Chain A
Amino acid sequence: MYFGVFSSQNTDKTPTASYKYTQEFRSEAEKVLNTRPAPAKPWPQKRIKAASHEDHQSRVGGLRLETAAVRVEGLAVNYGSFVAVENLSFTVKEGEIYGLLGPNGAGKTTTLKVIVGILEPRAGKVEVYGTSVSNEVLAKSQIGYVPEEVVLLDSLTPREFFEFVASIRRLDKESVNSKLERFASAFELKQYFDTPIAALSMGNKQKVAIITGLLHDPKLLILDEPLIGLDARSSKILKELIAFHAKKGGAVIFSTHIMEVAEKLCTRVAIINKGKIVGQGTVEDLRRLVKSAEGSLEDIFLKVTEQEAGMQDIIKALEEE
């Protein structure tokens, strides 16, 4: 059970022979993330005072109350006359890994782009840790984002790109360098530090985007298909990092087409189809939704998105050809 151990939320999974190696990855992930850099230099403007992790972790009698990391209400996005997302609502709590699943063109990336402030919605309310995304700078400073299609400034080297992003995010030199050293070593990127991004492989570009997204120790990670192009080692480390981030109290929203990953990694998932949420909750919740006691997330997904019907016939027809 490869995936059984990398999520702190899935403690019921049985450890296997790969347990030892997984523990190594986990400890590597923890080592990387535990070196939390000193908070970014304060913004000169008083009104843009970024809140720390702890600010959002209210405690009553020693018990942590879950705070909403992301609140999306009635989100609607149009591309001209085309409705990409319609009346979408969900909440992601601290310590949660929230998976966004859906067929191609369902509206996952559009939703994520609205949360990170790249797209403006037609209607609806989006808040990140209680801050409306219309308050761009404060909202964006709390998010680490890895886009679906990694297109960075190709003529820069990773070192120059990290330097630019660290400058924009006002990161402290010592702590960011310590963090960068660990990330570069974990993702085996050090040797490419002075190679132009244009000359890097897709996987290495993805690593640059992932490291950039993690550099400022964001409270919220938004990862749009982050595993694409990654080698097995890096993929494993990233999954451990995601799990550890949530364990520390951070929140993660991540979209994927790999159902097994979503099933093992996510606390809750939302299935989007044609711009609308057609199912939301834990895998158990979704099983109840489709009235199936056993089926995998893939089976549930195909049922909920109405893609199951006729699929066997199509496969059969293709095989006959």
Chain B
Amino acid sequence: MRFSELWRLSGTAYKEVSFQSIFSLRAGSSLPRSGRRDIKQLVANARMNTLISKLITAGFIGFFAAVIFLPVTTSYTGSTGQEGTALLADVSAFLAVVLFLIVFMGLQVSTSFVSSKIVDVLSPLPLSKQDISRIVFLSFIRIFDIPLIAAAVIFPTVYSLISGSVLGGIISLGGIITAEIFALALTTVLARFFYLRVTSAGGRSKWQTLLRLVFMLVWILPTFAAYLVINFAANIVQSFAGLMQGFSSFSQILALIYPFSYGFLASSLTFLGQTEYTLLSLSAAASIAYAILAYYCLKWVTRTIRNMGVSAMGRGPREIVKDTLIKPQVPWLGIIRKDLRVASRAPSYASLFFLPIIQTAILAIIFSSSNGLGLTTTLGFLTGMSLITLLLPPTLSSIEGLASAYMRHLPMRKITLISAKTLLSTLTYALSLIVLSIIALVLGKNPTLILTYGAIHGFSVAAAVMLELTILTRKFWKEGFAVGNLYSRLSTYVLIVIPGYFLASIPIVSAIATLSIAPSFLLPVFLAAALTEFTLMTAVVMLQK
């Protein structure tokens, strides 16, 4: 089949994936009560939502390429050796960002991709296996098309403009394409692992539970890596430049390792006159080897991606079932257990669920380099932790939408649902707080401030979580469809988390204001603000039927 025909067919498949990612229809949600004309509008909205998400991600990549990295280079201008090292670090770090960011996006959409059952729809049609694989691959590519193009266009262009080397820009383009292919391969590997080994294995033995936990951790590594590289990009580039100057022999080994090979090659070709030819040869050889590897990865992904369909899920050996016993809990605990179980098995939920922990780890890194733990730093930490925690309620609510057409007939009260999810979100915040306090103790710093203010702020975070959940539950009850995953419904997430952020920031802002006016009243004001919010929101939740 001709490429143009494959591309056209992949467009139809992609429309279905984007629609499913918004409404999770196959996953059991029902459409809001609308007429047939409105359904067309919903399809258009779904496409617009995914387009907006793509543009936001592309904008982020563009901003990252144009603003964050390359100005670092300008501080080394004039010193050729250092400028070359900085460019090397720029290219390498950008490739790492592209790799991890696309894997993160891939993990977010893979659930929708699987639940859309697009492979199952295509399989009975008179198409060859190869064509089906290609169509599925192209529809998968369409999910990331704008971010992929943005990365491939913006960075090499800015590189060429700043360094004045078109050749260097072309090499960086090659590196980016390789990174994108590796990212798709990594997403496919993780998705296959997840669906084949975790989801289809099931079981309730301790071994299966442990296995799921391990996979969850593996699953979130790209998220963690992307977050780390993005947060510390400037530090990484500067530290790397320093490291390179200190250990020149180290660079020969590094030239062979991805993504540094492309960094060395681009940098060497940019400053061809001052290039060390051993490095140039090593990095060129390694880059060619990685390009060949990427080619085979691409072939493998094209061939394998169609196995991501539900029907292709492995039905591994089943455990021998000894009994049919169940342990019913009180409703709120039943909801929490169900949420944890679903989150541990769905890629798009698992990665988000660990974000507060990741945030704590990031803060711990900053923590270790700070001299003391003052009040302002503490409040800053609490703000960061609460911001990430407040991403959880929309995620947890969308779990409720997974089989909403069925779940909504259960005699579940809104207040039970909100209480359970508030408890779960707030416990995650509390866990992050405890981890951070332990790190403070290990580093020999006094955790009193962070524990005291953190515990009080926990009430504010709980209030903010309740606010988000009240909005979401009302929406869920009324419309009965899933909020969808983070990537496909970025705008919904933003609109829901803003009121939450506002509420969680009130005690912080009050404390900062009090600090400059009447410092002795700081703690009472902070406490009063947090408790008032908590009381008010508890009252609002109690009014829910």
Q: Is the CB of B411 within 8 A of A141?
A: yes
Q: Which residue of B lies closest to A120 (CB)?
A: B33
| CB interface residues, B 323-348, toward A, < 8 Å | 323-331, 333-335, 337-338, 341-342, 345-346
Contact of B202 among A143, A145, A196 (CB under 8 A): A196
**A166-179 vs B, Cβ < 8 Å mask (1 yes, 0 no):** 11111111001100
Q: Pick out which of these stretches binds chain A: B126-134, B401-409, B497-505.
A: B401-409
Contact of B200 among A140, A151, A198, A209 (CB under 8 A): A198
Q: How far is the CB of A316 from chain B (nearest CB, A)?
A: 29
Q: How far is the CB of B243 from chain A (nearest CB, A)?
A: 44
Q: Is the CB of B403 within 8 A of A152?
A: yes
Q: For this complex, into which size category does the number of interface residues on chain A fall?
A: 35 or more
Q: Pick out which of these stretches binds chain B: A16-24, A186-194, A230-238, A248-256.
A: A186-194
Q: Is the CB of B405 within 8 A of A157?
A: no
| CB interface residues, A 143-174, toward B, < 8 Å | 143, 145, 147, 149-157, 159-160, 162-173
Q: How far is the CB of B145 from chain A (nearest CB, A)?
A: 29
Residue B515 CB within 8 A of the other chain: no
A137-B413, A140-B411, A151-B405 known; A159+B328 contact, CB < 8 A: no
Find chain B residues with CB under 8 A from A165 CB: 410
Q: Is the CB of B411 within 8 A of A169?
A: yes
Residue A180 CB within 8 A of the other chain: yes
Beyond A140-B411, A191-B321, 18 additional contacts (C-beta under 8 Å) are A79-B34, A80-B38, A82-B35, A118-B30, A137-B411, A141-B411, A150-B406, A155-B342, A160-B204, A164-B334, A164-B335, A167-B333, A167-B337, A168-B411, A168-B412, A171-B328, A191-B318, A198-B199
Q: How far is the CB of B403 from chain A (nearest CB, A)?
A: 5
Question: A285 CA to B325 CA in the complex, in Å?
Answer: 47
Q: How far is the CB of B268 from chain A (nearest CB, A)?
A: 49
Q: Is the CB of B324 within 8 A of A159?
A: yes
Number of CB contacts from chain A to chain B under 8 A: 163
- Chain A interface residues toward B at CB < 8 A: 78-82, 116-120, 136-138, 140-141, 143, 145, 147, 149-157, 159-160, 162-173, 176-177, 180-181, 184, 190-196, 198-199, 209
Q: Is the CB of B409 within 8 A of A117?
A: yes
Q: Is the CB of A80 within 8 A of B409?
A: no
Q: Is the CB of B328 within 8 A of A79?
A: no
Residue B480 CB within 8 A of the other chain: yes
Q: How far is the CB of B166 from chain A (nearest CB, A)?
A: 50
Q: Is the CB of A164 within 8 A of B321?
A: no
Residue B445 CB within 8 A of the other chain: no
Q: Is the CB of B27 within 8 A of A136?
A: no
Question: A173 CA to B337 CA in the complex, in Å?
Answer: 16
Question: A97 CA to B341 CA in the complex, in Å?
Answer: 38
Residue B15 CB within 8 A of the other chain: no
Q: How far is the CB of B269 from chain A (nearest CB, A)?
A: 49
Q: How far is the CB of B95 from chain A (nearest CB, A)?
A: 34
Number of B residues contacting the other chain (C-beta, 8 Å)? 53
Residue B2 CB within 8 A of the other chain: no
Find chain A residues with CB under 8 A from B545 CB: 136-137
Contact of A152 among B28, B202, B324, B346 (CB under 8 A): B28
Find chain B residues with CB under 8 A from A180 CB: 324-326
Find chain A residues with CB under 8 A from B412 CB: 137, 168
Find chain A residues with CB under 8 A from B28 CB: 151-153
Find chain A residues with CB under 8 A from B408 CB: 117-118
Question: A140 CA to B313 CA in the complex, in Å?
Answer: 35
Q: Which residue of B lies closest to A117 (CB)?
A: B409
Q: Is the CB of A81 within 8 A of B318?
A: no
Find chain B residues with CB under 8 A from A118 CB: 30, 405, 408-409, 480
The 7 closest A-B pairs by CB, nearest first: A80-B35, A167-B334, A151-B28, A166-B328, A140-B411, A155-B345, A163-B326
Q: Is the CB of B406 within 8 A of A163?
A: no
A80-B34, A194-B202, A196-B202 known; A153+B403 contact, CB < 8 A: yes
Q: Is the CB of A199 within 8 A of B315?
A: yes
Q: Is the CB of B33 within 8 A of A78?
A: yes
Q: Which residue of A lies closest to B339 (CB)?
A: A164
Find chain A residues with CB under 8 A from B315 CB: 195, 199
12 cross-chain CB contacts under 8 A: A79-B35, A80-B36, A145-B409, A151-B405, A164-B334, A164-B338, A167-B331, A167-B333, A169-B411, A170-B331, A181-B323, A198-B313
Q: Is the CB of B200 within 8 A of A199?
A: yes
